[in-house]
Structure 1
Amino acid sequence: MRIGIADYKISQAPNNLITVGLGSCIGTLIYDERSGIGGLSHIMLPDSRPFEKRSTVNAAKFANLALPKMVDEMKRQIRFPHFKAKIVGGANMFNFDNNTQNVGARNIMAVEETLKQLRIPIIAKHVGGSNGQTMVADLETFQVMVRIVHQETVYL
């Protein structure tokens, strides 16, 4: 099942969840091993607050909105969830030296903080760098394959 930019999907084993084009964006897999249910979010931006005055905001675009929303949906499907997370992405695609301009670094911090607030431990991550990535999550094993542009594949 493919997840686009600024979107998330929830599925169950034996399905795979796939998102491509993770540059400064973050792919966040949240899963419950007992139920075999997982959700994958492709977050573009760290914080929705600068966009609050707009009439419509795509919650799936922002770390502070997408992750709580996805977790709430998953909780409706799982009786006693024990969530874990794996995150991928957050590259510095434009070689900015400071974190205020580096959207990737800000996305990493926002996802980590949101997961901390949700009390979901991050058990593996492949973040930073300067190359785009593709994330494939196997909901049977919860192994994540990370294909990195011009580099070797990594498994989490």
Structure 2
Amino acid sequence: MSFAGQPKPTVRQEGDAAPLRQAAPRTHDWRRGMQTVRVLPGEAYVTARAEEIIVTVLGSCVAACIRNPATGFGGLNHFMLPESDSGMWNGASAALRYGNYAMEVLINEVLKSGCERRDLEIKLFGGADLTDGPTLIGSSNVSFVLDYLNAEGLAIASADLGGCYGRRIHYNPSTGVVHRLLLGTATHPEFVDEEHSFKDRLARTKVEGEVDLF
């Protein structure tokens, strides 16, 4: 987890609540006039900066956009698999690939900003099934995150889940606005790669359709 606009936290050790990625890559979005931070699979990021947009690209992965609407502090996670019940995370960065850990980390970080659980604004994206087969990872990720939030008694403000298309997400926690763009065609062979290579291919894939706001 990376933090912006706050004092730099102490790096946790393996097994603690929130791993940190100390240096998030930033670029400038000249069209929007804002800084952008890219979140890759197995990562998460939170910010208090009003001029910062968090960007991620999703295939079968799911991203949760969670913020404190009273302050605009919030962030985004990007998880690859529903959950690990082994209790062995194999290091902080590996842990965030799992939905149960990624959701816990992000929710707890936003709650630390002074937000009550009932006030969390939560938006969900991703979970596409890019190929046919006995194991539909996208559907599994969608089922997990919906069941997780239901079990935690947390409401979903909006969601765009499932289907067969990749998505590019631009999230501004200060406003809560999410721009979602559909990407490419799921039938092209390049979309059957594992998610860690899929993210780079999607970033170069033609955008299809209009930008939707959530």
- The normalised TM-score by structure 2 is 0.65
Contact 2:74 2:174 in 1 (8 A): no
1:62-116 deviations in Å (ceiling 9; x for gaps): 11111112211222222545102111110010133x5xx1000010011112222
Q: CA deviation at 1:54?
A: 6.7
Report the Cα offset of residue 129 of structure 1. Answer: 1.2
The yes-or-no answer on 1:143 pairing with 2:177 is yes
Partners of 2:60 and 2:174 in 1: CA distance: 28
Provide the residue aligned with 1:78 in structure 2: 114
Please give the root-mean-square deviation of Cα atoms over the aligned residues, in Å.
Answer: 1.9
Secondary structure in 2 matching 1:67: helix
Residues 5-20 of structure 1 aligned to structure 2 (within 5 Å): 5-14=41-50, 15-20=52-57
d(CA) in 2 for partners of 1:75, 1:40: 14
Q: Percent identity?
A: 24
* Residue aligning to 1:67: 103
* Equivalent residues of 1:24, 1:104 under 8 A apart: yes
Q: Distance in 2 between matches of 1:30 and 1:54?
A: 23
Selected match of 1:110 from 144, 147, 170: 144
Contact 2:99/2:144, CA 8 A, preserved across alignment: yes
Which of residues 148, 162, 165 in structure 2 aligns to 1:131? 165
Match of 1:39 among 44, 65, 75: 75
| In structure 2, distance between residues paired with 1:135 and 1:106 | 20
Q: 2: CA distance between counterparts of 1:79 and 1:126?
A: 24
For residue 87 of structure 1, what is the aligned residue in structure 2? Answer: 124
Tell whether the 8 Å contact from 1:30 to 1:86 is kept in structure 2 after alignment.
yes
Q: 2:8: which partner in 1? A: none
Distance 1:80 1:87, change over 3 A: closer
TM-score normalised by structure 1 residue count: 0.87
What corresponds to 2:156 in structure 1? 122
Conserved in 1, the CA contact under 8 Å of 2:68 and 2:115?
Answer: no
Offset at residue 33 of structure 1 (A): 0.7
Tell me, yes or no, if the aligned pair for 1:11 and 1:37 is still in contact at 8 Å.
Answer: yes
Higher relative contact order (CA 8 A, sep 6+): 1
| Unpaired segments ≥5 residues, structure 2 | 1-36, 184-207
Q: Which amino acid aligns with 2:128?
A: A
Match of 1:91, SS state, is coil
Which segments of structure 1 move beyond 4 Å, counting only runs of 4 or more? 51-55
d(CA) in 2 for partners of 1:10 and 1:121? 20
Alignment size in residue pairs: 151
CA distance in 1, matches of 2:47, 2:177: 15
